Structure formats: structure tokens, C-alpha cells
Amino acid sequence: MSGTRKKALLKVIILGDSGVGKTSLMNQYVNRRFSNQYKATIGADFLTRDVQIDDRTVTLQIWDTAGQERFQSLGVAFYRGADCCVLAFDVTNAASFKSLDSWRDEFLIQASPRDPDHFPFVLLGNKVDLESQRAVSSKRAQSWCQSKGNIPYYEVSAKEALNVEAAFLAIARDALARESQESNDFPEFPDQIRLNPNQQSNSSGSGCNC
């Protein structure tokens, strides 16, 4: 069976300070809804949305996470197996921008991808509808992205559905391109732990003896 026919499942993690709008971004993208009411996120939870990229259907599994550490009492095991990490900040809140470094570091430490320098990150600056209250200029965000190996940057508004669709599409593309490069970010099968040496290669085993 050809592997390309298979529907791809991509795991995307959204990280950022409390109140920057991670849940709103995900809700806008998946459900096309927005609410002004603030509700804190507890733990981590995902929603999925299918997206067509060229001729492939890709299921994006988007993990929305709690920005407040006290709501992560079980740790951050949900970082495991991520294909892309979305960092979000609030353009009207300079502190949320300053935290980006620690979110990125924390992700790289906890998820420990094989090639941390080339792991796909995307930066979203949310709440651009509140232009008059802006505290972080687009230039400043871009130069941060540059310093981290040219992370793509999108200015979005979950409230006005501005750029959200485009940003997530780009995220999916990035993660997919990465997957097709067959560079596996997370080591899966160290050879020495193969349970059954007969199954060393796919072609040799004619049948499954399970």
C-alpha cells in the first residue's frame, strides 16, 4: 500500500502566556467562533480540523494548553510527538512577548526533538484588532523571529478572524514538508530493541505472525 494515500495526522502545540488568546485562536480556526468571555484553560486539550494541502488531506490535531503553570499539574507530556509548535503572544502585552524565549526553550527541553535547531516553530501575534493599544511592533517581533532561525511570523486577530486561516494553513504546510523530508523529529525505533529480529525489514516479512 502506498504511504502517500494515507491521511496524515499532524500534531500542533500552541504555547504562550495566559490570556494571549490561545484558546480563541484554536476556536476561531476550528469552529469559526469567537467569544469575548475569558475562560481559563486547564491542562491541555485538542481539537482537530482537516485541511487540504495540494492533493493531500491532512488532519491537524491542535493542542490548546494552559498558559498558567499551576494548571499543568501533570507536566507537559502532551509536547511529545509534536510536528510543529505555535508560539502565541498578545501584541498589546509586552510581557507576553518577553516570555516567548522561555516558552520556546521549555518546549525544546521537554519535547527534545532530534534536531532542535530546525524544529518548526511559528509565531503568532494575536489581537491586532486592538491596534491603538499595541505594545509590540511588528518589526520587533520579526527581528525576534529572525534571531531564532527565521521563524515565520503572522499577525492575527482571533476576534476578527484576521489571518488565522492563512497562518494555520502555513503551519500545516510547514509541518507536512518537514514530515515528507522523512526527518523524524522524535527517535522511534532504535534497532537494538526490535522485539523480533525477523521483521528487520518490511520486504522480507511476507506475513505478519501476530
Partner 1 sequence: MVENSMINVAEQEKALEQATRIVKSEAFEMKRCLDKGKTMDALKHALLFLGELRTGDLSPKFYYRLYMDSINELQQLETVLIDEFTQDSSKLNNLYECVQYAGTIIPRLYLLVTLGVVFIKCGLGSKKELLKDMVEMCRGVQHPLRGLFLRNYLLQSTRSLLPDSPDGIGEKSARDGTVSDAVDFVLINFAEMNKLWVRMQHQGPSREKEKREKDRMELRILVGTNLVRLSQLESLNEEMYVRDVLPSILEQVVSCKDPISQEYLMECVIQVFSDDFHLSTLNEFLAACGQLVPEVNVKNVLIALIDRLALYTTSSIEGQSAAAPSKMELFEIFSAQAKDLIKNRPDMPMEDVVSLHVSLVSLAVKCYSDRVEFANMSFLSLRNILEEKGVESIEAFGKVGRELTKLLHIPIDEYKNVLKLSELPEFLKVLNYFDYRGKCNTSSYIIQNLLDEQTFLKNDQEIQAVFQLIEALLKEHAEADCEAEDFAEEQNLVARLVHMIRADDVDSQFLLLNLARKMLGEGGKSRIKYTLPPIVFELYRLVLGYRDQKDEDEKWNAKVRKIFVCAMGTIGALVSTAELAELPLKLYLDGAMTADKVPFDENHVVVYEFVSKSMSILEDDVADSRDRVRCLQLTVGALLQTSNLPEENWSPLASQCALAAAKMFKKPDQVRSLCTVANLYWHGKTKETNGEMLKNGKRVVEILRKAVKIATECLEPVVQQQLFIIVLSAFTYYYEDGCQEINIEQIEELMRRTQENAVQLDVSAEADSLERQLADAVKRLKLAKLEKHEVPVTPSLEDCEKVEEEQA
Q: Kindly report the CA angle at 65 between 71 and 22, in degrees rounded to 5?
A: 120
Which residues lie near partner 1 (CB under 8 A)?
1, 3, 6-7, 9, 11, 30, 33, 37-43, 45-48, 59, 61, 71-75, 77-78, 80-81, 188-189, 193-195, 202, 208, 210
Nearer to partner 1, 59 or 142 (CB): 59
Q: 201: which DSSP letter? A: S
SS3 string, 112-162, reads CCCCHHHCCEEEEEECCCCHHHCCCCHHHHHHHHHHCCCCCEEECECCCCE
Residues in the chain: 210
* Rounded Cα distance, 89 and 152, in Å: 14
Nearer to partner 1, 81 or 152 (CB): 81
Nearer to partner 1, 84 or 145 (CB): 84
* Rounded Cα distance, 44 and 181, in Å: 29
Q: How far is the CB of 188 from partner 1 (least distance, A)?
A: 6
Q: How far is the CB of 33 from partner 1 (least distance, A)?
A: 7
Q: How far is the CB of 166 from partner 1 (least distance, A)?
A: 23
Q: How far is the CB of 8 from partner 1 (least distance, A)?
A: 9
